[in-house]
Structure 1
Amino acid sequence: MPEFEIVTHVMAPPERVFDISLDVDVHLASMAGSSEKAVGGVTGGGMGLGDTVTWRARHFGVRWRMTSTISAYDRPGRFVDEQVSGPFERWYHAHFFRPDGHGGTVMRDVVEFAAPFGPFGRIAETSVLRRYMPRLIEARNRYVKQVAETTFTAE
């Protein structure tokens, strides 16, 4: 099963980055290129433990739906979102936030995923998804970073 890790430094405190990372509206704005929409569950604002959201999007010209839940929540250090139903055999995304010692946050994403359809899915993982998925998370993190840094003012 493929796994990857992305580390992003954000010049805002962990509480702020954590909350922004759980905001459905921020996620939708970060995924505008895939016409992503929240169509069920929490469709706007922040999410918490046990909340679900159903996303509808288009990737590789294919429309899909994915319902995920917040399965772990420890503000401001960590939360996990996992697929409940959708296009993956498995989708597990752990988000970690720790102070950098200078007023900012080290945000670390650890993603495990598996494509469906057995050997055909493994081919898709190897040929496409292992490159595509990290790029998607990196794009999302750039947007989270921009929102957190742009609207943050130190007290």
Structure 2
Amino acid sequence: MSSCFEVVTLIHAPPELVFDTSLSVELHTASMAASRERAVAGVTSGLLGPGDRVTWRARHFGVPWRMTSLISGYERPAYFMDEQVAGPFRRWRHAHHFVLAPDGEGTVMRDVVDFAAPAGPLGVVAEVLVLRRYLARLILLRNAHLKRITEETAAPPG
């Protein structure tokens, strides 16, 4: 079994800025401060690009974990995909889509996360009861941080 969820965020900044900022290791680390997430191998600072790998170390549910992700799809400024190549999930795919808002005043960012927990039937129970909600909350937290940073950057001075 696998779970999938989607989060849509309107950001008042141009798609190129939102796209690039979404690939910032430092932004990701700052947005996940509560779980002490940090890049420990691969690309550990700056912007991720096509084919880049990064290994994250964090603490979730009181348990330390590591996950190595690969930027497996990249079409600036419209789309990128990160996928787990090593880590706690049976599968983790996170598609990031960026389109100009209908009114032309910003970016509609759509995150589509498809994941499968390990541990067979127990993992399925964890997906349904805990993980899906927990992971969606993490994406919402990350997106709120991204929105704040990019809107501040895109705002005209004064």
Q: TM-score, normalised by structure 2?
A: 0.96
Cα-to-partner distance string for 1:126-148 (whole Å, 9 max, x where unaligned): 11102101011000000000010
Task: Decide which of 102, 105, 125 is 1:103's aligned counterpart.
Answer: 105
State the AA in 1 paired with 2:85.
V
Structure 2 residue 91 is the aligned partner of structure 1 residue 61? no
Identity across matched positions, percent: 61
| 2:33 maps to 1:35 | no
Aligned mates of 2:124, 2:134 — CA distance in 1: 14
Find out whether 1:48 has 2:61 as its counterpart: no
Q: Distance in 2 between matches of 1:87 and 1:142?
A: 25
Deviation track 1:30-79 (CA, whole Å, cap 9, x = no partner) reads: 00000011000000110100000000000000000000000000000000
**1:67-146 correspondence to structure 2 within 5 Å:** 67-100=68-101, 101-146=103-148
Shift of 1:106: 0.2
**Count of equivalent residues:** 155
Gaps (5+ residues) in structure 1? none
Q: CA deviation at 1:153?
A: 3.5
Could you report, residue by residue, the CA deviation over 1:70-105 in whole angstroms, capped at 9, with x for unpaired residues?
000000000000000000000000000000132300
CA RMSD in angstroms comes to 1.1
Write the distance in 2 (CA, Å) between the matches of 1:73 and 1:130. Answer: 25
* Runs of 5+ consecutive residues of structure 2 not aligned to the other structure: none
Once the 2 structures are TM-superposed, how far is the Cα of residue 154 of structure 1 from its aligned partner?
A: 5.1
2:148 alignment partner, SS class? helix
Aligned to 1:8: 9
3-state SS, counterpart of residue 46 of structure 2: coil
CA distance in structure 1 between the aligned counterparts of 2:74 and 2:142, rounded to whole angstroms: 20
TM-score of the superposition, structure 1-length normalised? 0.97
Q: Tell me, in whole angstroms, the C-alpha distance in 2 between the residues paired with 1:131 and 1:26.
A: 22
